[in-house]
Copies of this chain bind each other. A is one copy, B any other.
């Protein structure tokens, strides 16, 4: 046993799981290994031999055995690759997509692993992007609004079809026998920690952001659930738990079985689970108020800390202890970002991303005369309206593809500025920005535009795998200082996160032009986004009839 200590972070993504092994001393990423889920995203039909069962539109399931396989494949692989002695690995942390949830027996056995329920879609894991519970989400929002539920404002006034109770209620609505059979309903994040430790421990992050829980008020009243459906009245006590453990805690020690799967030592500290976006904040050195983290990829997720609660229009949620213990973690988001650029490049451009970026970078702000609303996949924050759609204005017969490409980049930056200003207007400071995720290192023009549009410095995180690193940080904290780790996530972040790779500084000239364009963006934003019977809603209605 050498003096060096390590932690393992495991990031459960949409298509694969990834394990990263980092040094506890300085956060160096020693090795990484990933496992592509054998059954991936199940959105067409169930896996064989039940592939006669077709799924309806908007469904997205997963196979819980793929999560166990990630433990069995990725962790041993990263140990073998690095040659690190398992005895030197002091902690394990995990993060997960969310809300990804499943029904299980009292012992944690997923219902979909029972022979008699294997052909039943509702017995499987509902992935975050399972969108078939919109009816239930609508009912939840309606009933909550009618009852004046006090928790609504913590979620910007609406909860999503992706969230926990929407999905749970869909099981009850469509498969009451599955609902009855489920002893437990829980986040996959907590389920995999249960598999590692043998203990069911529910984390404050998913509970707060996806299951309407708060440290001060707990879950909504039973009367609220009863108003949704009498059979739903006791869902929390019957199938969930009122004991929520703050992130940054130790969930337990690695079980004998999990030690066998992973090659790690039994009893190794396992951290309470986390969500991929939220766990990225300490991984990019953000553990204090004032700096916004933007996880930029197909979509944008914005994470911000505050020392008090605030009601911010259209945010996804504010959760005490949701990101860093002792602080309020705010979340907001843009439902399409990289997805919009890919849509344009794949369908409308003969040149690739790189050529378009090169040409677009030569344009001055405002030069194209174009402006877009970035709502290709609806608006998550601050309008919280999935029915909104994309808009592009200003085309002439001379408009070129690289001009539209740049207008799309700018539109997502304006969308982020709307979110930034919504926070600032409610007294939640946004003094600087740290960007992580797949986009920042691939698209330099995009980063400069974000700096110029927001008028703020944007640092690009050093790590290319912030979620897994963040999980490793929480693993080191679960182990504690006495074992060679840390006693707080703040300290772990301070020691284990490398300085930013690159910083983008706003140009004063560009910012001035973008101020003028932003005024127009906001005008269009309000014109199309705040009218409940606007042209986009009408087009959707006409389309539905067509």
Seen from chain A, the residues whose Cβ lies within 8 Å of a Cβ on chain B are: 336, 339-340, 343, 347-350, 364-371, 376-377, 389-397, 399-401, 513, 516-517, 519-520, 523-524, 527-528, 535-536, 538-540, 542-543, 545-546
Contact = CB atoms under 8 A, between A and B. Distances in A.
Given A336-B397, A366-B545, A389-B396, 12 more contacts: A343-B399, A348-B348, A366-B539, A369-B542, A377-B396, A389-B394, A390-B399, A391-B392, A392-B395, A394-B536, A519-B538, A520-B542
A389 B399 CA distance: 11
A524 B535 contact: yes
A450 B336 CA distance: 35
A364 B339 CA distance: 26
Given A542-B366, A546-B367, A390 B401 contact: no
Given A376-B396, A376-B397, A365 B520 contact: no
17 contacts: A343-B397, A343-B399, A347-B401, A367-B546, A369-B539, A369-B542, A376-B399, A390-B394, A393-B528, A393-B535, A393-B536, A513-B545, A517-B539, A520-B539, A520-B542, A523-B538, A524-B535
A155 to B, nearest CB: 25
Given A377-B396, A397-B377, A523-B535, A368 B513 contact: no
Contacts of A513: 542, 545-546
A376 B397 CA distance: 6
Nearest to A340: B397
A364 B546 contact: yes
Closest 5 CB pairs of A and B: A390-B395, A366-B546, A369-B543, A366-B542, A367-B546
Contacts of A391: 391-395
Contact of A535 (B371, B401, B542, B543): B371
A392 B394 contact: no
Nearest to A378: B396
Contact of A396 (B348, B370, B390, B545): B390
Contacts of A397: 336, 339-340, 343, 376-377
A528 B371 CA distance: 13
A371 B540 CA distance: 11
A543 B395 contact: no
Contact of A395 (B370, B389, B524): B389
A367 B368 CA distance: 30
A397 to B, nearest CB: 5
Given A391-B392, A392-B391, A527-B527, A370 B539 contact: yes
Contacts of A368: 543
A423 to B, nearest CB: 26
Contacts of A336: 397
A213 B366 CA distance: 42
A379 B395 CA distance: 13
